[in-house]
């Protein structure tokens, strides 16, 4: 609510819904919440747009995020996030990425790296230990990016139970 008080304002009319600063910096945001409860043997995921990737026994599972964004002030802005509760097992690995990872334009194709390529790389390297998995994903991404400038920040995170 504080950023909604920052100008400039549409038509120079101060109002919480007319802050251009807020609309520029606080819309189209994606978000993820991950709650690992090892005692209960469960993980709860909630997210907008960004998926959660789980590797179990060398297999890849994709838990999709909801449509919509964090930060929009639309009629459904009060709609609660859906929670996805999954069984947690020793050896489970969870991988999270930011949109900058898949939105990067590749030098050779001129197209985005994309979620399909990310899933393919993740599945291909699923049996690697986490440090090697991360290195393989980052190396492939860097090779595809080539001399193209970075479009957005990149976040790649893995957790192993």
pLDDT in tens, 85-110: 999 999 999 999 988 889 899 998 99
Dihedral class, residue 137 (left if φ above 0, else alpha if ψ from -120 to 50, else beta): alpha
d(CA 64, CA 109): 26
Instruction: Please list the alpha-helical segments (H only) found in 11-153.
Output: 20-25, 99-103, 114-124, 130-145
- Helices and strands counted in the chain (H then E): 4, 7
Per-residue pLDDT tens for 121-133?
Answer: 999 999 999 999 9
Q: What is the pTM of this model?
A: 0.76
For helices 130-145 and 114-124, what crossing angle results, to 10°? 140
Average pLDDT, the chain: 82
At residue 73, does pLDDT exceed 60?
no
> What pLDDT was estimated at residue 19?
66
CA 9 to chain centre: 30
Q: What is the mean pLDDT of residues 31-55?
A: 84
At residue 114, does pLDDT exceed 90?
yes
> What pLDDT was estimated at residue 142?
94
Which region among 8-17, 95-104, 140-149 has the lowest average model confidence (pLDDT)? Answer: 8-17
Q: What is the mean pLDDT of residues 143-154?
A: 87
């Amino acid at each position: 609510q504080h950023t909604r008080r920052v100008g400039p304002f549409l038509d120079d009319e101060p109002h919480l819904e007319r802050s251009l600063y807020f609309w520029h910096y606080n819309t189209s945001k994606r978000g993820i919440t991950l709650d690992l409860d090892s005692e209960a043997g469960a993980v709860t995921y909630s997210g907008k747009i960004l998926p959660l990737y789980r590797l179990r026994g060398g297999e890849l599972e994709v838990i999709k995020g909801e449509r919509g964004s964090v930060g929009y002030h639309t009629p459904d802005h009060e709609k609660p996030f859906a929670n996805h509760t999954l069984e947690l097992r020793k050896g489970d690995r969870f991988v999270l990425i930011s949109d900058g990872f898949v939105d990067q334009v590749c030098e050779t194709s001129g197209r985005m790296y994309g979620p399909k390529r990310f899933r393919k790389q993740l599945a291909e390297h699923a049996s690697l230990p986490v440090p090697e998995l991360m290195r393989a994903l980052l190396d492939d991404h860097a090779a595809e990016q080539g001399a193209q400038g970075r479009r957005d920040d990149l976040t790649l995170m893995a957790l192993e139970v």
